[in-house]
Amino acid sequence: MLTTGLPRIPHDGSVTQTPVQGKSILITGGSHGFGEGLARRMAAEGGLVTIADIDEERGQEVAREIGGNFVRTDVTDFESNKHAVAEAASHGGGLDIVILNAGVTSGLGLGDDFDPQRYRKVMAINLDGVVYGVAAAMPTLQARGGGDIIATASMAGIAPTPFDPIYATNKTAVVGLVRSFGLASIAQGVRTNAVCPAFAETRILGPMRQGLVDAGVPLLRVEEVVDVYFDVLASGATAECWFVQPGRPSEPFAFRRAPGPRASDGSIAAAADPQTQFEMERKIKDSR
């Protein structure tokens, strides 16, 4: 597997057959699609699953089937996220794994077809939902001595996505959050990563699905995507964004190193090294 050179937080000896056995797990957007697939597989592997979703009827049904817990949650509301965390902690006796997965496409252009209300709504679900989820979960994860946060971003967070630039904007923001906060959260023993799937067979594709099939675009199966969250959990990685593409193994995407400063003689300054930058940022933060 490709390694990104980013730090890792090794698991304690408790990770044996499956990284979810006996763990308390919160999954936003768990009523359908990837979230439902994750809820089913994680519960089957001994996880104590709480589904947090706006679709109450379906979420209750899935929770009942898997012997899990459901909490009606609107991820666009911070209080609702905090309530979901409290419910998961109460169900699972604490909190170990948080999957921030609720999401929608925008269907918005940036011309006559732009609608500020819809824009705010989409950004609130796909971006605020992740930021609020992280902020709501951190104190409870920290109280446990650490854990895992995995956000569902998208290939649209890594590659240009002209058919939905607003979706690309919020997914790129999630990737940015994970790459930065995944380094910051090490201090609390929390690994923060993203899974970035290409097109997959869920209802989010809506009417776009037929066009994709007609154009010969291969679609991922939900199970293939679910596998990658398990790979991420087993990896001990943090601040990584794992792509998921049909027909090839998933890996953390190797972002190109950003240009760093040069010394006056043109030589590469020590501050160009990512580890040095990280240390510098930590000192700046500590001096505040």
Residues forming the active site: 167
Q: Could you say which residues in the range 162-181 bind ligand NAD, by CB under 6 A?
A: none
Options 24, 31, 192, 250; binder of ligand NAD; rule CB under 6 A: 31
Q: How many C-alpha atoms does 143 have within 13 Å on its Cβ side?
A: 11
Q: How far is the CB of 9 from ligand NAD (least distance, A)?
A: 25
Residues 6+ apart with CB under 8 A from 241: 153, 157, 158, 175, 178, 179, 193, 194, 195, 196, 252, 253, 255
Contacts of 54 (CB under 8 A, 6+ apart): 31, 72, 73, 74, 75, 102
Residue 224 binds to ligand NAD (criterion: CB under 6 A): no
Mapping DSSP to helix (H, G, I), strand (E, B) and coil, where does residue 122 land? helix
| Cα distances (angstroms) measured from residue 26 to each of 102, 213, 271 | 12, 33, 38
Which among 61-69, 89-97, 139-147, 196-204 is the span making contact with ligand NAD, rule CB under 6 A? 196-204
* Candidate ranges 9-17, 68-76, 232-240, 250-258; the one touching ligand NAD (CB under 6 A): 68-76
Binding residues with ligand NAD: total (CB under 6 A): 28
Distance in Å, CB of 266 to ligand NAD, minimum: 42
- Footprint (CB under 6 A) of ligand NAD, residues 113-152: 125, 152
Question: What is the C-alpha to C-alpha distance for residues 226 and 228, in angstroms, rounded to an integer?
Answer: 5
- Measured from the CB atom, is 52 or 186 closer to ligand NAD? 52
State both tokens at 71: 């909490």
The β-bridge relationship of strands 24-28 and 251-252 is unpaired
Question: Which range touches ligand NAD (CB under 6 A), out of 40-48, 74-82, 250-258, 265-273?
Answer: 74-82
Interacting residues toward ligand NAD by CB under 6 A: 28-29, 31-35, 53-55, 73-76, 101-104, 125, 152, 154, 197, 199-200, 202-205
